[in-house]
Structure 1
Amino acid sequence: MAPPKRYELTFGDGPDGQTPPDDTVGDRVVVAATGATGPGGHPVYADASGIVRAEISDRGEVRMLASGGQQSPRSPVRVEPLH
């Protein structure tokens, strides 16, 4: 089965980076396949700006990738494939 072409990543707004239980807040970013592979050999996805980059495995495991110097990307609290 081919991997999804796009994913929605949700990042928490809480002080610990987690989404509150009611899920009313959080930043959502849609990323699309870039055609590249990451250090783990899985597809790399990026948002339209190219700033948010993530390697996502076929099991939905996410490794955030820095797109520039001094960047320390947070991990998403939820990853949803988009069809």
Structure 2
Amino acid sequence: MGRKRFALTFPGDPGAHAAQDVVVVEPTGDTGPGGHPVYADASGIVRAEISDRGEVRMLATGGHQTPRTPLIAEPLP
């Protein structure tokens, strides 16, 4: 299964001059709709399918959720 962990960096809220959010995700053992490993944060709320090329597909974990796409998916040791 790809890398062990990723740091996903999300943009701050537009117009709010907010800092970027960084969320660390680890493999879940699941496979996403594109056939790549699914990663999640400790709460299980942030879930993302990450390809071996670093492409990220955010996965909704609840109804009416519209996940934002991260700016960067950085591999961690």
Q: Structures share a fold, TM > 0.5? A: yes
Give the paired residue count.
76
Residue in 1 that maps onto 2:27: 33
- Counterpart CA distance in 1 for 2:43 and 2:34 is 23
| Secondary structure at the counterpart of residue 25 of structure 1 | coil
Residue in 1 that maps onto 2:11: 12
Q: Which runs of 4+ in 1 moved over 3 A?
A: none
Q: Could you say what the CA RMSD is over the residues aligned between the two structures, in angstroms?
A: 1.8
The unaligned stretches of length 5 or more in structure 1 are none
TM-score, reference length from structure 1:
0.85
Identity of aligned residues (%): 67
TM-score, reference length from structure 2:
0.92
Amino acid aligned to 2:28:
T
The unaligned stretches of length 5 or more in structure 2 are none
